[in-house]
Structure 1
C-alpha cells in the first residue's frame, strides 16, 4: 500500500456515516468509519475504482477524483493539499511544492531573533529542526540547549525529552498538533522527515499511534499553555511565519506588555542569558 492509499484508508476510518448524512444501519459495524462503497458513492466513483486506489493498484487518479474524495471525506484545506501532494509522489509527478535544500538561518533571521527578545523565538525547518533560537527560546524548553545543535528538533523534544511531559500543560494536544504538522513536511522536506519519523516511530509508541492517524494541518498560530519550572503556569500566544522560498519558518511565543505573561518572559530572559543562542 502506498502513502496516498494509507492516507485515504485512515481518513475513511476516521469519519462515521452520520457525519456525512448516511444512516448507520442496524447492528454494529465490523470496522469504524465509512465503508468503501459508501465513500465511493459519496465521491461519485465506482466501488471497484476506489478499491483499486485504496489498495495501491491505481496510482494516478485525476485531480477531479481526488477533489471529489476530499469533499466526501470532509478534508480540511491542509488535508486536501496533502492528498494532492501524496498523489503526485505516488504517480512520480513533479511535486506541487518543491523541497528547498537545507541551509542555515540567514543573518537577517538571526538579527530578527535578537530583536524579538524577550519573546522566545526559533528558526525552524519544515521538519521542525531548530536552526537557531534566541536565549529565551532555549530557556523556554528546558534541556533543549543540552542537546547538540544537530539533534534539536521540536517534535523530537516533545516525544523524547522527559522535561516536555511536564512543560506542556496539555502535552497530548501539543503532541497531536506537532505530528499533524509533521505530515505536511512529508512532501516539502521528505528526506529529513522520513528519518525523523523512523526514529520516533521506533522510540515512541505514542508517536507511532498518532502518525498512523494521518491527521494533517499546518501550524500557523494559536496559544500554548506551559507549566515552566522557572516561570510557572503561563499561556503564550504563538505565531508562525514562513520565509520566502527556503522552507524556513519563524516561530515566536509572545505576550502583551504590562501583562503577567510578559513579566514572566522578562524573568525567562534573565535566565536565558546564560544559555546562549543556537
Structure 2
C-alpha cells in the first residue's frame, strides 16, 4: 500500500484451526498428540488462539498514514467500530490496551503489525468459544496444568453467547460498516478477493520466523490467559511448582513437595510466601520453594 490508498477490511468466518503468533513455535506451544486441525502462523504478534466459524474475524488493512503515530494507539483507533457494534447489541464492553472486556472478562483480543507499507489490526467477534478443545491442544506439562488452564479460561474469558443471543452474519456486517462510516467517514465497496489478491497473500510468509527457530514458549513455562492473568508450571530436580497470577498477585499455587498446601496464596514477595509455606515445610525448604514460586510466576511486564 501507498500513502493515500484506500483502506480495506477483510472479513470472514474461518474453518477450525489453531492460529499462532509470529514469534511462536508449534513444537513448544502445542500438544503434538493433536493433528486434526491446521496450524497457521500469522504475521501478527500475540499468543496462540483457537479460530473457527463461531468467530467473525476482522482485519483492518490500511496505509500507515491512516494509523496514529504511536503504535500503542492503533488499537483504540482501529477497534472502535467493533466496540460500537457491541454497544449497539446492548453489551457494555470496554477497551483496555488491545483487549475488549465485558463484565471483568476478556471478550476479544487483537494483534497488530506492519506488513510492507501497510498497517494491520486484526480481531474477531467471539460469538462462542470451545474452551476444552482449545485447552486440549495447548502443550501442558501435566494433567493438573491442563485442568487449571480450563478453569482459568472459564473464569477469565467470555463470549457473546454467554450474554445475549448470537446475531446473524448480515446484522454484524451492517452494524460494523455503519460504525466504521461514522468513525472514519468511509464509503463501502464490497467485493470478494480476486485470485491475484489471494496469491499475493503468500508474500507475507517471507516475513515470518521459520518455526524451527523457536525453542522456548512465548510465556516461559506457561501461557497467557489474558493481559492480567498467566498460568505457569516449572519442573525442578526435586519437584514441580504451578502458579496462577492475576495482576501483581500470586492467586493460586501448587507444590509437589507440599500436597496439603492450600492453593489460594495471596502473597507475592518471597519472604511473605516463605512465611506461609513454613506451616507445611521446614524453614530451609520454605525459603527454597518460595524462591521457586517467584521464579516460576509470570506477570504482565507493563504492570510491574
- Give the structure-2-normalised TM-score: 0.24
Higher relative contact order (CA 8 A, sep 6+): 1
The structure where helix makes up a greater share of residues is 1
The structure where strand makes up a greater share of residues is 2
